[in-house]
Amino acid sequence: MSKILLFDALREATDEEMSNDARVLVLGEDVGHYGGSYKVTRGLHAKYGDLRVLDTPIAENSFTGMAIGAAITGLRPIIEGMNMSFLLLAFNQISNNAGMLRYTSGGNFTIPIVIRGPGGVGRQLGAEHSQRLEAYFQAIPGLKIVACSTPYNAKGLLKSAIRDENPVIFFEHVLLYNLQDDIPDEEYFLPLNKAELVREGRDITIITYSRMRHHVVQAVDMLVNDGYDPEVIDLISLKPIDIETICTSVKKTHLVLVVEECMKTGGIAAELTAQIDEHVFDDLDAPVVRLSSQDIPTPYNGSLEKATVIHPEQIVAKAHSMINRS
């Protein structure tokens, strides 16, 4: 085992896959000489050159379309969005091309492409740089979507995503890049369609993903000190949702609290609630409860920004009330 930062875990995964397969390339704004805005591609340009670590113009629709064409012709591109919000400019290419071409070509084309980069509410990055785009992309047929939350799962998931034959949207949280953890020295892969059971418990199921995993873990420490026994699931796979793992947990705890940074209206928690009701409604002792971000553009002001997202104390209070009411 070795201790590593999350951005270095992502860089290691990219480097290993580029070394293993000459078809793998990286493209995006400042990914080459500069090494990426968050240094995920640091050192790769010197190792692999201009044709495999390609600095692009500020034109997301153009270089995303080019990457999709490259994938169709046999390459395995990794697109780095300098900020995932910018990839809204390539929404047409991601939706109408990446998501659909394998189906509309009758399986004649595969689209082995990874679209990754930082997102989520940062620290005073302003509304346009603090978007939570998970639900935007979740509605697109043909995509797989994962959200890493630790250096360990970041590396294993990215390696699996690069080798997958389908387009993968790979969400990284802007405030998790400096998170440090031990990861194995040997090569490993993690499945793109499985949730992680972070903690087993019996009183309530708390479902979360990305940065909110760490807020939930802080809240769980407080809940355990109060004598409660919560179960925690990190979704990881936002599409498809690992409903089997969730249903197994709900049948044990009978209470569900979803904690997300996504907006409440039409968010990931909304889809989760619908699927839980469809599959295990009779096992619930109370309605599924959602703790989500405010349905507003994220303010630049630090205090207002903080007020838009969920914090551990809110999770503790809501879990208390749900368990005691049941």
| Other C-beta atoms lying within 10 Å of the C-beta of residue 235 | 28
> Which listed residue (129, 173, 214, 215) is catalytic?
129
| Other C-beta atoms lying within 10 Å of the C-beta of residue 282 | 6
Residues 6 or more apart whose Cβ sits within 8 Å of residue 73:
none
Separation between Cα atoms, residue 60 and residue 53, nearest integer Å: 16
Residues in a beta bridge with 119: 173
Name the token pair of 255: 């209470």
Q: Is 49 left (phi over 0), alpha (psi -120 to 50) or beta?
A: left
Separation between Cα atoms, residue 21 and residue 35, nearest integer Å: 20
The residue type of 109 is F
Please provide residue 164's backbone torsions phi and psi, each rounded to the nearest 5 degrees: -75, 150
Residues 191, 215 contacting (CB under 8 angstroms): no
311 is catalytic: no
60 is catalytic: yes
Separation between Cα atoms, residue 214 and residue 110, nearest integer Å: 36
> Which listed residue (60, 172, 231, 261) is catalytic?
60
> Catalytic amino acids?
60, 129
